[in-house]
Amino acid sequence: MFELFELYNNLDLFVLVGLRVSGYILSSPFFGRNEVNSLLKISLIIYLTYILIFSQWVHFETIPTNQFQFIAFSVVEVLKGLLMGFMSSLFFSAFLTAGFFIDSQIGYRMGGLLDPKYGINTSLTANILNIIVLLVFLVLNGHLQMIHLLSHTYIISPIGNLSFTANLYNLFISSFSFVFLAAFKVALPLFLITFFVDVILVVMIKFMPQLNIFVIGIPTKLLVGLFSLFYIIEPIINFLDPYFVSLFENVWRVLL
């Protein structure tokens, strides 16, 4: 009963905390996926907000004194959550990009599935890599780490703090460059393998002109690409641990 009275007395704080949590949950690459039930998302938002209200981290830096100031605080809190979610999604999109790079080389771009999170038609390899990354993220308790990170953002950026990091633009540019480079690193082994396959096929056609390059080349690249994909899964998993560390650091720096 005491908690209910305390919650009623801090209703404005509850709303503002819930807005930041909602912004992150709805734009998160894991919690915000369309496969996650809407009722589950709403329940998670309310539950996290309730927990945070009674934590020692949540407090007003500036108490709103009128409706316009409360609306301004609300907009800023939503933006803070959305920026954190967007940064997380940016890091996860690296593996969709790597999948597009790989499939453009081995010929899997002809088939694809609609990714409900990003609303785009993703290729076969992009879907496989995306599933692997999400599974490893869960195994490493990345979802719990993100919730822990979200709760501690109220220390560095309390409610009522209307300022963002001065280097927000540079942060997103550097993060985009890092993500694109990571996608290229993941796709590079397949690039080299398919390049050597192309060289071998060219040599075969040179010495045996009667061979049909389309009949032999396309199935060969498909098979080589499929088996090569199995061999790079383990190095990709080993690559994810330091990659997620960079993800958490960049999400934290959004509100510094």
* Each residue's pLDDT expressed in tens, for the chain with a length of 256 residues: 555 555 656 677 888 888 889 989 988 888 877 777 888 888 888 888 888 887 777 777 777 778 888 888 888 889 888 988 888 888 888 888 888 888 777 766 655 555 555 556 667 778 888 888 888 888 888 888 888 888 888 888 888 776 666 677 888 888 889 998 999 888 888 888 888 887 887 787 777 777 676 677 777 777 877 787 888 888 888 888 889 988 888 888 887 7
The per-residue pLDDT for 61 is 74
Q: Alpha-carbon distance 19 to 79, whole Å?
A: 9
The per-residue pLDDT for 226 is 77
The per-residue pLDDT for 74 is 87
The per-residue pLDDT for 66 is 81
Tokens of 17: 């905390």
The closest of 205, 243, 255 to 98, measured between CA atoms, is 243
Q: Alpha-carbon distance 78 to 197, whole Å?
A: 50
How open is the CA angle 186-191-194, to the nearest 5 degrees? Answer: 140
> What is the reported pTM?
0.82
Checking DSSP bridges between strand 120-123 and strand 112-115, what pairing results, if any? antiparallel
Helices (H), the chain: 2-9, 11-27, 38-53, 67-106, 124-139, 142-156, 168-207, 213-253
Q: Alpha-carbon distance 123 to 86, whole Å?
A: 22
Residue 107 φ/ψ region, left for φ over 0, alpha for ψ in the -120 to 50 degree band, beta for the rest = left
Q: Alpha-carbon distance 53 to 113, whole Å?
A: 41
Q: Alpha-carbon distance 199 to 186, whole Å?
A: 22
3-state secondary structure of 207: helix
Q: Alpha-carbon distance 87 to 248, whole Å?
A: 9
The per-residue pLDDT for 166 is 61
